[in-house]
């Protein structure tokens, strides 16, 4: 069952612009993770935000979490062509769950 | 280097011919799982394992088997593959000791069943 749903499904921007993608979920979570997938390759963990955190940064990545709205956003600043990939959110539900639930992903294309 | 390996990376087979996709991790992770990825459907979990000899069904287990005889290996078995099992398969692992359960993914196995 898919808990997280990313929005938009696809995003096309120019190099240097910021890219924002959102993730909504349905039940309470322990943490929320963002992953990146280059075409046909395995997913790679980008960043994790815990349920008691509101914002986190890692390089050009900024993640926010709003537990009252059950949503998260991933911002990639000053995007590069190499950022072209699919981005997935994964939620760890509360209550001690260790099984992440992935959304369908946002496909990002950054034009040089 | 910490990694999850899968073999084969590409496989074309015929309906009904049993096959096994191997998965191995070198990080001493307790948790391992298999996903399939299909266009528009995202990642769907097939089976997972919390430790040796402990396996459980995910969201789409029909037509698949797994085993966990050793901590590092988690093979996916298709006893009688059918064309609707044509997909991109990923193995993943994580530690249950960190409480973040960050997943490490293999490179994927692209399976075509004709």
Q: For A54-96, how does the pLDDT look when each residue is reduced to its tens digit (9 = 90+)?
A: 999 999 999 999 999 999 999 999 999 999 999 999 998 766 6
Q: Are A19 and A13 in contact (CB under 8 A)?
A: yes
**A40 touches B: beta carbon within 8 Å:** yes
What pLDDT score was predicted for residue B107? 96
> What gap in Å lies between CA B1 and CA B5, rounded to an integer?
11
H or E element at residue B47? strand B42-51
Q: For B21-50, how does the pLDDT look when each residue is reduced to its tens digit (9 = 90+)?
A: 999 999 999 999 999 999 888 899 999 999
> What gap in Å lies between CA B69 and CA A90, rounded to an integer?
28
CB contact under 8 A, A44 and B94: no
Q: For A6-15, how does the pLDDT look when each residue is reduced to its tens digit (9 = 90+)?
A: 889 999 999 9
- Residue spans of alpha helices (H) in chain A: none
| pLDDT tops 60 at residue A1 | no
pLDDT band at A99 (very low <50, low <70, confident <90, very high): confident
| pLDDT tops 80 at residue A98 | no
Mean pLDDT of chain B: 95
CA-based nearest residue in chain B for residue A34: B102
Using CA of residue A25, residue A27, residue A32, residue A37, what is the dihedral sign? negative
Q: Which residue has the higher pLDDT, A40 or B91?
A: B91
**A98 touches B: beta carbon within 8 Å:** yes
Residue of A21, A33, A42, A53 to mutate, interface with B, max B Cβ within 10 Å: A42
CB contact under 8 A, B108 and A92: no
């Amino acid at each position: 069952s898919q808990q997280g749903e990313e929005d938009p499904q696809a995003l096309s921007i120019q190099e240097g612009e910021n890219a924002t993608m959102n993730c909504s979920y349905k039940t309470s979570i322990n943490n929320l993770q963002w992953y990146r997938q280059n075409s046909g390759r395995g997913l790679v963990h980008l960043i994790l935000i815990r349920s008691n955190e509101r914002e986190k940064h890692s390089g050009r990545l900024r993640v926010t979490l709003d537990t009252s709205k059950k949503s998260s956003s991933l911002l990639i600043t000053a995007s590069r062509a190499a950022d072209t990939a699919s981005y997935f959110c994964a939620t760890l539900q509360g209550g001690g769950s260790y099984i992440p639930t992935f959304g369908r992903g946002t496909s990002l294309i950054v034009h040089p | 280097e910490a990694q999850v390996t899968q073999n084969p990376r590409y496989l074309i087979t015929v309906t009904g011919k049993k096959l096994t996709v191997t998965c191995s991790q070198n990080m001493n992770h307790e948790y391992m799982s298999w996903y399939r990825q299909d266009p528009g459907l995202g990642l769907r979990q097939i089976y997972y394992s919390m430790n040796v000899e402990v396996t459980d069904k995910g969201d789409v287990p029909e037509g698949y088997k797994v085993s966990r005889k050793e901590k590092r290996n988690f093979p996916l078995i298709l006893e009688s593959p059918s064309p609707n099992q044509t997909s991109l398969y990923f193995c993943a692992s994580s530690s249950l000791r960190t409480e973040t359960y960050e997943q490490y993914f293999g490179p994927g196995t692209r399976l075509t069943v004709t």
